[in-house]
Amino acid sequence: MTRTRRLLALIQILRSRRYPVTAVFLSQELNVSVRSIYRDIATLAQQGCEIEGCAGIGYILKSDFHLPPLMFDKNEVDALILGLNWVMQNTDTELNTAATSVIAKIHAILPEHLAAELENSSLLISSGKSDANLSHLSVIRKAISHRNKVRITYVDINDALTSRDIWPVALGFFDSSRVLAGWCELRQSFRNFRLDRIRELTVSDTLYPQTRQKLLKDWKEHERIPQKKTY
């Protein structure tokens, strides 16, 4: 690997992390010495890249506007398009439109050979035949984002009709169903609700008394979902 390519690879690693990464980690990723990483960090700083941190603590990228724009390789393009095509076929109209816009933006920055791969991808997505009422998805997403309580009229597995006040925390997308997860005031516990069983849904102006991050953390603990940092 040439030093120019190594500097670009170093930038890509730093771009993908929200938290400081050590020179030891970077040296292992790039298969060079720690001393080389120190020199590379200094070079990037001289070129206008704002990197905070120090030896022994770690480094984090704050600004890189003087450096070449982010670029994707073939595998990254495949991953992005596969995911975006799934969104276009299995979610609500707003996310469909957003995914279409993202694909257009990606296409605009790709070199010709990768743009051709994007237009002729061999990775196909089947259309999810969910019975869920997709019209609820956009409303629920906004309620989750803004911490609004929602009231639902729900038919449970025994066909009993109940009215529930929910603190919405997450949406699950499965092959045959869509599921709303949230804190149920009636049951005083976290519950999951299939969207196809929701007869009515209204969003309250009342906010639930927690941060969204805290509610999500508590729900993951309740469901025993590993809480790993992905970047």
Residue 6 has pLDDT above 90, yes or no: no
Residue 229 has pLDDT above 70, yes or no: no
Residue with tokens 């997860």: 181
- The C-alpha atoms of residue 45 and residue 61 are separated, in whole angstroms, by 10
189-194 and 198-207 strand pairing: unpaired
What pLDDT, in 10s, does the model give residues 134-161? Answer: 668 889 999 999 999 999 999 988 899 9
Residue 198 in contact with residue 180, Cβ under 8 Å? yes
Residue 83 in contact with residue 95, Cβ under 8 Å? no
Token pair listed for 95? 């996310």
What pLDDT, in 10s, does the model give residues 21-56? Answer: 999 999 999 999 999 999 999 998 888 888 888 777
Residue 137 in contact with residue 195, Cβ under 8 Å? yes
What pLDDT, in 10s, does the model give residues 88-146? Answer: 888 888 898 999 888 888 887 777 777 877 777 777 776 655 555 666 888 999 999 99
Neighbours of 182 (CB within 10 A): 26
Q: pLDDT confidence of 193, banded at 50, 70, 90?
A: very high
Average pLDDT (150-176) is 92
Q: What is the mean pLDDT of the chain?
A: 85
Q: Which domains are delineated in the chain?
A: 3-63 (1.10.10.10), 74-119 (no CATH), 135-222 (2.30.30)
For the chain, list the strands marked E by DSSP. Answer: 50-54, 58-63, 148-155, 161-173, 178-184, 189-194, 198-207
pTM of the entire structure? 0.65
- The C-alpha atoms of residue 51 and residue 42 are separated, in whole angstroms, by 9
Residue 135 in contact with residue 120, Cβ under 8 Å? no
Residue with tokens 């030093």: 3
